[in-house]
C-alpha cells in the first residue's frame, strides 16, 4: 500500500450517524474531494451516480454529497434506493465517472457509510482512496458559478437493473414451479428483488419489504435468517433467499429449513458450471472458509485459494489468480462472469438456475459438501497484543495442529474491527474442536496477561 488510510476502511467509510466522520459536514467535503479525484471535477461532462439503501439518514447524506459534488463541478445523477451491486452496474452502463453508495450494509439503521465504485464498476484501488484523503486535507473551494454541477434523477434505474439481473441466467430458464420466500431485510432490494424472481415466473412470498427508515436489518435479512427459516417451512417453499441491507450478500434456506451459507453457495455454483466455466483453475474463499468446502472442491479437482477476510481481498486474489468465482461464508459472493462485485440477487439466481437445470432440490445440491464443525472464541485485549510473537501461543497452536493431525484446522487472527484475537478451530469431531478451541483461547489469554506484567 502506498500509505496508511486515515478514513477509509476495508469497505469505504462507515460509522454511527452524527459521530465523526459520518456527519453532514464531512460527507459534503467527501463528495467534493471525490469529485475532484474521480471525476476530475472541472466542469464539463463529468458525471457521478449516487444510490442509497433505506436508512432515514440516507436523505441527509444524499443531499450532502450532492452539494459537495456540485461544488467540485461534477454533475450528479440520483438513483434513489438501489442495491449496491445495482449502483456498480449502472455506473458502468451509464458511462459515469464514478458511483457512490450510501449504505452501512448489514449494520443497524443508526449507522451509515459511503463507498465508491470506479467507472468500471469496481471498488477503488488504495492509491485512489489515498488521493481522495489528500483532497480532504485541503481547503474546500467551489468552482466558478458557471461550472457548478447539475443534478438529475435516473427514472428507470430499477427497471434497468432488474433486466440485468434476469440476463445473468440462460434466457430459456424459468423459475416456474418454484416457490420462493424472499427476505429483503427492509433494505435496498425491497422492491427490486421480488420483481426479479416474479418476472422469472417464480411464486414469490416477500418478507422484510416494508422499509420505514428505521427497520433495516432489524431481526431479518442475511445476518438473522430465523424468520426466513420459519417462513419457508410455513409456506412449504422450495427456497428461502435472505439478502442484507444493501443487497450484496445472500444466505439461502432449503426446503427443510436448513441454512445454506456462502461456502455452500460457492460449492453449488462451482459444481454446476464446472464444464462451461474455468472453475477448475480454482475458486477463492477466505481464511474463514470451512475446511469442508476445501475438501469438497478438491474432490472435483478444484483448488480453493484462501484470501484475507473481506470481499476486498477476495477480489484482489481473483484478479491476481485470473479466477472468476469467490466469496465468503457470510454470503458475499463474487461472480465475475456475470458482474463486477458481490451481488446477492445474482448469486441466488445462479443457484436457482442450477436447481432448474439439474431438476433437484437445493438440499440435494448442497449434499456433496459436508461442513466441518467450527468453534470461534474471541479473546478480548485492552492493549495491542502481538500474539504471533508469543512462544507460548505458538507452542499451543503447534500442539493442537499435531493433535488434529490433518483432520482439522487452526486459525488465529486479530479482528480488524474490535480489540479481540479470534481463535478458530475446526475439524471432524465437534467435542474435540470445542476442547481444542477452549485450550488455545486460554493460552492466548494467558500470554496476553503475561505480556501486560
Query: And the C-alpha cell for 102?
Result: 450510501
* Rounded (10°) CA dihedral 313, 314, 319, 321: 110
CA distance 265 to 350: 9
- Cα–Cα distances (Å) from 189 to 53, 81, 216, 255, in that order, read 8, 8, 11, 23
Q: Domain ranges for the chain, please list them.
A: 13-155, 161-368, 374-451
User: What is the CATH class of 13-155?
Assistant: alpha beta
| pLDDT for res 358 | 96
CB 114 within 8 A of CB 102: yes
Query: And the C-alpha cell for 390?
Result: 508469543
CA distance 346 to 159: 15
Q: How many CB atoms lie under 10 A from the CB of residue 360?
A: 12
Q: Indicate which residues carry an active-site annotation.
A: 105
| pLDDT for res 41 | 57
What is the DSSP secondary structure assignment for residue 210, as one 8-state letter? Answer: -
| pLDDT for res 1 | 40
Q: Which residues contact 273 (CB under 8 A, 6 or more apart)?
A: 279, 350, 354
CA distance 160 to 78: 14
Task: Write the pLDDT tens digit of every residue in 27-74.
Answer: 999 999 999 998 875 555 799 999 999 999 999 999 999 999 999 999
Domain 374-451: CATH superfamily is: Alpha-D-phosphohexomutase, C-terminal domain (3.30.310.50)
Task: Write the pLDDT tens digit of every residue in 207-264.
Answer: 999 999 999 999 999 999 999 999 999 999 999 999 999 999 999 999 999 999 999 9
What CATH number is given for 161-368 in this structure? 3.40.120.10
* Rounded (10°) CA dihedral 365, 370, 373, 378: -60
Q: What is the pTM of this model?
A: 0.93
5: left (phi over 0), alpha (psi -120 to 50) or beta: beta
CA distance 247 to 342: 9
N residues, the chain: 453
CA distance 113 to 416: 17
Low-confidence ranges of the chain (pLDDT < 70): 1-3, 41-44, 416-417
Query: And the C-alpha cell for 119?
Result: 467507472
**Same fold yes or no, 13-155 and 374-451:** no
Amino acid at each position: 500500500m502506498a500509505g496508511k488510510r486515515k478514513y477509509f476502511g476495508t469497505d469505504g467509510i462507515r460509522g454511527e450517524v452524527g459521530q465523526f466522520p459520518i456527519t453532514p459536514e464531512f460527507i459534503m467535503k467527501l463528495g467534493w474531494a471525490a469529485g475532484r479525484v474521480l471525476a476530475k471535477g472541472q466542469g464539463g461532462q463529468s458525471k457521478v451516480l449516487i444510490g442509497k439503501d433505506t436508512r432515514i439518514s440516507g436523505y441527509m447524506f444524499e443531499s450532502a454529497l450532492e452539494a459537495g459534488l456540485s461544488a467540485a463541478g461534477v454533475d450528479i445523477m440520483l438513483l434513489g434506493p438501489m442495491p449496491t451491486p445495482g449502483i456498480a452496474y449502472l455506473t458502468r452502463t451509464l458511462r459515469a465517472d464514478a458511483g457512490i453508495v450510501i449504505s452501512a450494509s448489514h449494520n443497524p439503521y443508526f449507522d451509515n457509510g459511503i463507498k465508491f465504485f470506479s467507472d468500471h464498476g469496481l471498488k477503488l484501488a488504495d492509491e485512489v482512496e489515498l488521493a481522495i484523503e489528500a483532497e480532504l486535507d485541503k481547503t474546500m473551494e467551489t468552482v466558478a458559478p458557471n461550472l457548478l454541477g447539475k443534478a438529475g434523477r435516473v427514472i428507470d434505474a430499477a427497471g434497468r437493473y432488474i433486466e440485468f439481473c434476469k440476463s445473468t441466467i440462460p434466457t430459456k430458464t424459468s423459475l416456474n414451479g418454484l416457490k420462493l420466500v424472499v427476505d429483503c431485510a427492509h433494505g435496498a432490494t425491497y422492491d427490486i428483488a421480488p420483481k426479479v424472481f416474479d418476472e422469472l415466473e417464480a411464486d414469490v412470498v416477500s418478507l422484510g419489504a416494508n422499509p420505514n427508515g428505521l427497520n433495516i436489518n432489524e431481526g431479518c435479512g442475511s445476518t438473522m435468517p430465523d424468520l426466513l427459516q420459519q417462513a419457508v417451512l410455513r409456506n412449504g417453499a422450495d427456497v428461502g433467499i435472505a439478502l442484507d441491507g444493501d443487497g450484496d450478500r445472500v444466505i439461502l434456506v432449503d426446503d427443510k429449513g436448513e441454512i445454506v451459507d456462502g461456502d455452500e453457495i460457492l460449492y453449488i455454483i462451482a459444481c454446476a458450471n464446472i464444464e462451461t466455466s474455468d472453475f477448475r483453475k480454482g475458486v477463492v474463499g477466505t481464511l474463514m472458509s470451512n475446511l469442508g468446502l476445501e475438501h469438497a472442491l478438491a474432490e472435483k479437482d478444484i483448488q480453493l485459494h484462501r484470501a484475507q477476510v473481506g470481499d476486498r481481498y477476495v477480489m484482489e486474489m481473483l484478479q491476481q489468480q485470473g479466477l472468476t468465482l469467490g466469496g465468503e461464508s457470510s454470503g458475499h459472493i463474487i461472480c465475475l462472469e456475470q458482474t463486477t462485485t458481490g451481488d446477492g440477487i445474482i448469486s441466488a439466481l445462479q443457484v436457482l438456475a442450477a436447481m432448474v437445470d439439474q431438476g433437484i432440490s437445493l438440499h440435494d445440491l448442497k449434499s456433496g459438501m459436508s461442513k466441518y464443525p467450527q468453534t470461534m472464541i474471541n479473546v478480548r485485549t485492552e492493549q495491542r497484543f502481538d500474539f504471533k510473537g508469543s512462544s507460548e501461543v505458538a507452542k499451543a497452536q503447534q500442539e493442537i495442529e499435531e493433535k488434529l493431525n490433518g483432520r482439522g484446522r487452526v486459525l488465529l487472527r486479530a479482528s480488524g474491527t474490535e480489540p479481540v484475537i479470534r481463535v478458530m478451530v475446526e475439524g471432524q469431531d465437534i467435542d474435540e474442536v470445542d476442547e481444542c478451541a477452549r485450550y488455545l483461547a486460554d493460552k492466548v489469554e494467558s500470554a496476553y496477561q503475561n505480556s501486560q506484567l
